[in-house]
Amino acid sequence: MSEYIKFSCERVTAGLDSFDALADLNAYRRKLLDLQLIGVDPNGVGFGNLSVRDGATGNFYITGSATGGIPELTIADCAKVVACDFEKNQVRYEGSALPSSESLTHAAIYESNAKAGAVIHCHDSKLWAAALNRVPTTSKAAEYGTPEMAHEIMQLLTRSDVPKIVVMAGHEGGILTFGKDLEEAFAVLICEGKEIYR
Ligand SMILES: [Zn+2]
Protein backbone atom coordinates (compact mmCIF):
# COMPACT_ATOMS: atom_id res chain seq x y z
CA MET A 1 0.00 0.00 0.00
CA SER A 2 1.26 3.44 -0.83
CA GLU A 3 2.16 5.99 1.79
CA TYR A 4 -0.53 8.44 2.80
CA ILE A 5 0.07 11.77 1.10
CA LYS A 6 -1.50 14.57 3.07
CA PHE A 7 -3.72 17.04 1.24
CA SER A 8 -2.19 20.45 0.79
CA CYS A 9 -3.33 23.59 -0.91
CA GLU A 10 -1.73 26.77 -2.11
CA ARG A 11 -3.59 30.06 -2.37
CA VAL A 12 -3.17 31.98 -5.61
CA THR A 13 -5.15 34.99 -4.44
CA ALA A 14 -7.56 35.73 -1.59
CA GLY A 15 -9.86 37.70 -3.86
CA LEU A 16 -12.82 35.83 -5.28
CA ASP A 17 -15.85 37.27 -7.06
CA SER A 18 -19.25 35.78 -6.39
CA PHE A 19 -20.47 33.21 -8.92
CA ASP A 20 -23.90 32.62 -10.46
CA ALA A 21 -24.45 29.20 -8.92
CA LEU A 22 -23.92 30.38 -5.32
CA ALA A 23 -27.69 30.79 -4.79
CA ASP A 24 -28.25 27.28 -6.13
CA LEU A 25 -25.48 25.95 -3.96
CA ASN A 26 -27.13 27.41 -0.86
CA ALA A 27 -30.55 26.10 -1.90
CA TYR A 28 -29.28 22.51 -2.23
CA ARG A 29 -27.10 22.79 0.87
CA ARG A 30 -30.25 23.73 2.79
CA LYS A 31 -32.06 20.61 1.55
CA LEU A 32 -29.07 18.44 2.45
CA LEU A 33 -28.76 20.04 5.90
CA ASP A 34 -32.47 19.40 6.52
CA LEU A 35 -31.99 15.73 5.57
CA GLN A 36 -28.90 15.66 7.84
CA LEU A 37 -26.82 14.41 4.92
CA ILE A 38 -24.31 17.21 5.46
CA GLY A 39 -23.64 19.08 8.68
CA VAL A 40 -21.64 18.63 11.87
CA ASP A 41 -21.16 15.29 13.63
CA PRO A 42 -21.48 14.86 17.45
CA ASN A 43 -17.73 15.53 17.77
CA GLY A 44 -18.14 18.91 16.13
CA VAL A 45 -16.51 17.86 12.86
CA GLY A 46 -18.20 19.13 9.71
CA PHE A 47 -18.99 16.65 6.94
CA GLY A 48 -20.17 16.85 3.37
CA ASN A 49 -19.28 19.30 0.62
CA LEU A 50 -20.65 20.59 -2.65
CA SER A 51 -18.99 21.92 -5.76
CA VAL A 52 -19.97 23.51 -9.05
CA ARG A 53 -17.90 23.67 -12.22
CA ASP A 54 -16.91 27.13 -13.47
CA GLY A 55 -18.52 27.19 -16.92
CA ALA A 56 -16.76 24.84 -19.35
CA THR A 57 -13.38 25.11 -17.61
CA GLY A 58 -11.69 22.50 -15.44
CA ASN A 59 -11.98 24.89 -12.48
CA PHE A 60 -14.65 24.54 -9.83
CA TYR A 61 -16.08 26.30 -6.79
CA ILE A 62 -16.19 24.19 -3.64
CA THR A 63 -17.51 24.75 -0.15
CA GLY A 64 -14.70 25.63 2.23
CA SER A 65 -13.19 23.43 4.90
CA ALA A 66 -15.12 23.47 8.23
CA THR A 67 -18.24 25.14 6.82
CA GLY A 68 -20.54 22.17 7.60
CA GLY A 69 -22.39 24.00 10.38
CA ILE A 70 -22.98 27.28 8.54
CA PRO A 71 -26.59 27.56 7.34
CA GLU A 72 -26.00 30.04 4.49
CA LEU A 73 -22.65 30.36 2.76
CA THR A 74 -21.21 33.57 1.37
CA ILE A 75 -18.43 33.79 -1.19
CA ALA A 76 -16.01 34.02 1.77
CA ASP A 77 -16.95 30.41 2.70
CA CYS A 78 -16.12 29.07 -0.76
CA ALA A 79 -12.90 28.45 -2.66
CA LYS A 80 -12.27 28.20 -6.39
CA VAL A 81 -9.93 25.33 -7.30
CA VAL A 82 -7.86 26.38 -10.31
CA ALA A 83 -5.22 23.63 -10.54
CA CYS A 84 -4.89 20.07 -9.28
CA ASP A 85 -1.97 17.72 -8.83
CA PHE A 86 -3.41 14.28 -8.18
CA GLU A 87 -0.03 12.67 -7.43
CA LYS A 88 0.95 15.26 -4.85
CA ASN A 89 -2.62 15.56 -3.48
CA GLN A 90 -2.34 19.28 -3.93
CA VAL A 91 -4.58 22.02 -5.27
CA ARG A 92 -4.14 25.69 -6.06
CA TYR A 93 -7.10 27.87 -5.24
CA GLU A 94 -8.55 31.35 -5.06
CA GLY A 95 -10.55 32.74 -2.16
CA SER A 96 -10.29 33.36 1.55
CA ALA A 97 -11.66 29.95 2.64
CA LEU A 98 -9.56 26.79 2.54
CA PRO A 99 -10.94 24.33 -0.03
CA SER A 100 -12.31 21.06 1.38
CA SER A 101 -9.71 18.34 1.90
CA GLU A 102 -11.91 16.24 -0.38
CA SER A 103 -11.34 18.65 -3.30
CA LEU A 104 -9.33 16.13 -5.32
CA THR A 105 -12.22 13.67 -5.10
CA HIS A 106 -14.47 16.29 -6.72
CA ALA A 107 -11.73 17.10 -9.24
CA ALA A 108 -11.54 13.44 -10.27
CA ILE A 109 -15.22 13.52 -11.25
CA TYR A 110 -14.88 16.73 -13.30
CA GLU A 111 -11.76 15.30 -14.95
CA SER A 112 -13.51 12.03 -15.89
CA ASN A 113 -16.74 13.45 -17.19
CA ALA A 114 -16.89 16.65 -19.23
CA LYS A 115 -20.66 16.79 -18.67
CA ALA A 116 -20.35 16.81 -14.88
CA GLY A 117 -21.22 20.32 -13.75
CA ALA A 118 -21.83 19.76 -10.04
CA VAL A 119 -20.84 17.26 -7.34
CA ILE A 120 -22.41 16.49 -3.97
CA HIS A 121 -20.50 14.60 -1.28
CA CYS A 122 -22.63 13.64 1.68
CA HIS A 123 -22.68 11.08 4.45
CA ASP A 124 -25.55 8.64 4.74
CA SER A 125 -24.92 5.34 6.50
CA LYS A 126 -28.23 3.78 5.37
CA LEU A 127 -27.88 4.57 1.69
CA TRP A 128 -24.16 3.74 1.89
CA ALA A 129 -24.87 0.24 3.21
CA ALA A 130 -27.70 -0.33 0.72
CA ALA A 131 -25.80 0.86 -2.35
CA LEU A 132 -22.37 -0.63 -1.51
CA ASN A 133 -21.09 -2.65 -4.49
CA ARG A 134 -24.47 -2.21 -6.23
CA VAL A 135 -23.38 1.10 -7.80
CA PRO A 136 -19.78 2.12 -8.68
CA THR A 137 -17.86 1.59 -5.42
CA THR A 138 -14.30 2.56 -4.53
CA SER A 139 -12.26 -0.03 -2.61
CA LYS A 140 -11.98 -0.18 1.16
CA ALA A 141 -8.28 0.58 0.86
CA ALA A 142 -8.90 3.98 -0.72
CA GLU A 143 -9.39 6.59 1.99
CA TYR A 144 -11.15 9.85 1.31
CA GLY A 145 -9.07 12.77 0.18
CA THR A 146 -6.18 10.59 -1.07
CA PRO A 147 -4.63 10.17 -4.55
CA GLU A 148 -5.85 6.54 -4.44
CA MET A 149 -9.45 7.70 -4.10
CA ALA A 150 -9.06 10.09 -7.04
CA HIS A 151 -7.53 7.35 -9.21
CA GLU A 152 -10.24 4.85 -8.37
CA ILE A 153 -12.96 7.35 -9.19
CA MET A 154 -11.38 8.15 -12.54
CA GLN A 155 -11.27 4.43 -13.34
CA LEU A 156 -14.86 3.83 -12.28
CA LEU A 157 -16.14 6.74 -14.35
CA THR A 158 -14.29 6.12 -17.60
CA ARG A 159 -17.44 4.55 -19.01
CA SER A 160 -20.02 7.18 -19.89
CA ASP A 161 -23.03 4.99 -19.12
CA VAL A 162 -22.26 4.45 -15.44
CA PRO A 163 -24.73 5.79 -12.88
CA LYS A 164 -23.94 9.23 -11.53
CA ILE A 165 -23.26 7.95 -8.02
CA VAL A 166 -20.18 6.54 -6.30
CA VAL A 167 -20.07 4.82 -2.93
CA MET A 168 -16.80 5.15 -1.01
CA ALA A 169 -16.27 1.80 0.74
CA GLY A 170 -13.23 3.13 2.62
CA HIS A 171 -15.07 6.22 3.92
CA GLU A 172 -18.02 5.06 5.98
CA GLY A 173 -21.25 6.69 4.93
CA GLY A 174 -19.47 8.49 2.09
CA ILE A 175 -21.55 8.99 -1.06
CA LEU A 176 -20.83 11.09 -4.14
CA THR A 177 -23.38 12.06 -6.74
CA PHE A 178 -23.00 14.32 -9.74
CA GLY A 179 -24.92 15.76 -12.64
CA LYS A 180 -24.98 18.57 -15.15
CA ASP A 181 -26.00 20.85 -12.27
CA LEU A 182 -26.84 20.61 -8.57
CA GLU A 183 -30.48 19.91 -9.39
CA GLU A 184 -29.50 16.72 -11.20
CA ALA A 185 -26.87 15.68 -8.63
CA PHE A 186 -29.48 16.09 -5.88
CA ALA A 187 -32.13 14.21 -7.91
CA VAL A 188 -29.71 11.27 -8.35
CA LEU A 189 -29.22 11.17 -4.58
CA ILE A 190 -32.94 11.27 -3.82
CA CYS A 191 -33.70 8.72 -6.52
CA GLU A 192 -31.10 6.27 -5.17
CA GLY A 193 -32.34 6.81 -1.64
CA LYS A 194 -36.08 6.80 -2.49
CA GLU A 195 -36.82 3.92 -0.16
CA ILE A 196 -34.97 5.69 2.64
CA TYR A 197 -36.06 9.30 2.23
CA ARG A 198 -39.70 8.87 1.43
ZN1 LIG B 1 -16.74 12.72 3.61
Each residue's pLDDT tens digit, 79-92: 999 999 999 999 99
Q: How many CB atoms lie within 10 A of CB 196?
A: 13
Q: Taking Cα atoms as reference points, which of 91, 107, 12, 8 lies closest to residue 51?
A: 107
For ligand 1, the distance from its centroid to the CA atom of residue 172, given in whole angstroms, is 8
Average pLDDT value over all residues in the chain = 92
Ligand 1 geometric centre to CA of 168 (Å): 9
The radius of gyration of the chain from alpha carbons, rounded to an integer in Å, stands at 15
Mean pLDDT of 20-39: 96
Output the CA–CA distances (angstroms, integers) from residue 87 to 6, 70, 90, 94, 169, in the order listed: 11, 32, 8, 21, 21
pLDDT for residue 197 is more than 70: no
Ligand 1 centroid – CA 152 distance (Å)? 16
Centre of ligand 1 to C-alpha 28, Å, is: 17
pLDDT digits (tens, 9 = 90+) for 3-24: 567 899 999 999 999 999 999 9
Selected residue with higher pLDDT from 159 and 59: 59
Distance 192 CA to ligand 1 centre (A): 18
pLDDT reported for residue 161:
80
Model pLDDT for residues 150-164, shown as the tens digit of each residue: 999 999 998 768 899
Res 44 pLDDT > 90:
no
What value, to the nearest 5°, has the Cα angle with vertex 138 and ends 134 and 139?
105
Identify the pLDDT of residue 172. 92
Confidence at residue 3, expressed as pLDDT on a 0 to 100 scale: 58
Question: Can you give the pLDDT at residue 198?
Answer: 56
Q: Looking at residue 4, what is its pLDDT?
A: 67
In angstroms, what is the span from residue 20 Cα to ligand 1's centroid?
A: 25
Amino acid letter, 11: R
More confident residue, 65 or 160: 65
- Confidence (pTM): 0.94
Separation of CA 100 and ligand 1 centre (Å): 10
Whether pLDDT at 111 is above 80: yes
- H or E element, residue 121: strand 118-123
Asked whether residue 196 carries a pLDDT value surpassing 60, the answer given is yes
- Assign 1 a pLDDT band (cuts: 50, 70, 90): very low
**Dist. CA 15 → ligand 1 center (Å):** 27
Q: Using alpha carbons, select from 92, 86, 113, 100 the residue that is nearest to residue 38.
A: 100
Ligand 1 mean position, distance from CA 140 (Å): 14
109 CA distance to ligand 1 middle (Å): 15
Q: Which of 72, 42, 158, 59 is nearest to 103 (CA)?
A: 59
Q: Is the pLDDT of residue 99 over 50?
A: yes
Q: How far is the CA of 48 from the centre of ligand 1 (A)?
A: 5
Distance of alpha carbon 107 from the chain centroid: 8
The confidence score (pLDDT) of residue 25 equals 97
**Contacts of 85 by beta carbon, 8 Å cutoff, 6+ apart:** 91
DSSP string covering 130-152: HHTTTS-EE-TT--TTSHHHHHH
Question: What's the CA-to-centroid distance between 17 and ligand 1, angstroms?
Answer: 27
Give the contacts of 45 (CB within 8 A, at least 6 positions apart): 68
Residue 130 has what pLDDT? 93
